[in-house]
Amino acid sequence: MNAEILKDTFGRQHTYLRISLTELCNLRCTYCMPADGIQLSPRSHIMNFDEIYDIAKLFVSHGVSKIRLTGGEPLVRKDVEIILRKLATLPVALSMTTNAVIIDRYIQVLKECGILNLNVSLDSLDSEKFKILTRRDNFEKVFHNIHLLIKEGFSIKLNVVLIKGVNDDEIVDFINLTRDIDINVRFIEFMPFDGNAWNKQKLVSYSDIMAIVEEAYGIERVDRIKDAPNDTSKNYKIKEHKGSFAIISSVTNPFCDSCNRIRLTANGRIKNCLFSATESDLLTPLRDGQDLRPIIQKVMQSKFKVRGGMDTLEKLETPNLHEKNRSMITIGG
């Protein structure tokens, strides 16, 4: 195994591949999907299941030990079961990020493929607010499915993107879910992407969140707990609670030093960073029978030290910099 091609110029070894299976989604989250929708790639430009497997296998043979499937919504892909079963034959930890709207149909397959760790997105515990945030009326279904997953023994991280004036009044309600249930609620700072109307005023920062938590529970009840290696989140626990909570502060406290992630979009492009404005096509050369390794190595060599080159908050706030990037729906989170 030659892991060198997945090392960047800052010595970061990349062992974690996130594969977006589709640009399609059954929700329309305002912070992710632009109001006017997106220009979808032609169907023939989307990787088929063999191509996904071939590219994944190549990465695994160069040191990738963890693959997360994402989207769009990965489960809306008709052939998702085939993809899961093929990827499950690789020697990797497989996981998925999902909105859980239709996950009840896939419980058995997920178990058979050893996908027991899931990140589930839910931004509000209020069905009306959920409808506004996702532009769809699916709260009951998602909430029911989250409980079903817990009952079936899945380990759940709940992703909550916080937007000021929209759902920041629910921080304590979300943490209260961890009192009796062993889940990890992860508050994610709202990030700027093409078409998501981001501005700094909408940001609920790491320090804003901690101030609310300490006010609600008292500082002595809030324990800082150990983060997993290469973890993007800072983890905490309210003393007597079964579960925990975390903050992903990509905007105010980027965690790029320990970054080990590479992203593959549904149309077969590799991105060396979530915030990167550039990407390289792997699908066309794969279809042409070319060796992908020099392309991958070049992409890794061009990775910036911090956030695709937007190393300050000022740069992140400069619209023409982050608007050169894709919408989140076509990157995959």
With CB under 6 A as the rule, give the number of residues binding ligand SAM. Answer: 21
Tokens of 291: 């060796």
29 contributes a contact to ligand SF4 by CB under 6 A: yes
Contact 116, 125 (CB under 8 A): no
Q: What is d(CA 226, CA 189) in angstroms, rounded to the nearest whole number?
A: 20
Q: Which of 20, 22, 95, 99 binds ligand SF4 (CB under 6 A)?
A: 99
Contact 137, 131 (CB under 8 A): yes
329 contributes a contact to ligand SF4 by CB under 6 A: yes
33 binds, among ligand SF4, ligand SAM, none (CB under 5 to 8 A by kind): ligand SF4
Element (H, E) at 301: helix 293-301
Q: What is d(CA 86, CA 8) in angstroms, rounded to the nearest whole number?
A: 29
133 contributes a contact to ligand SF4 by CB under 6 A: no
Per-residue x/- track, 45-84, ligand SAM (CB under 6 A): -------------------------xx-x-----------
Per-residue x/- track, 73-92, ligand SF4 (CB under 6 A): x-------------------
190 binds, among ligand SF4, ligand SAM, none (CB under 5 to 8 A by kind): ligand SAM
Contact 16, 66 (CB under 8 A): yes
Q: What is d(CA 299, CA 301) in angstroms, rounded to the nearest whole number?
A: 5
Contact 5, 59 (CB under 8 A): no
27 contributes a contact to ligand SF4 by CB under 6 A: yes
Which residues of the chain form contacts with ligand SAM (CB under 6 A)? 25, 31-32, 70-71, 73, 97-99, 121, 159, 161, 188, 190-191, 193, 196, 328-329, 332-333
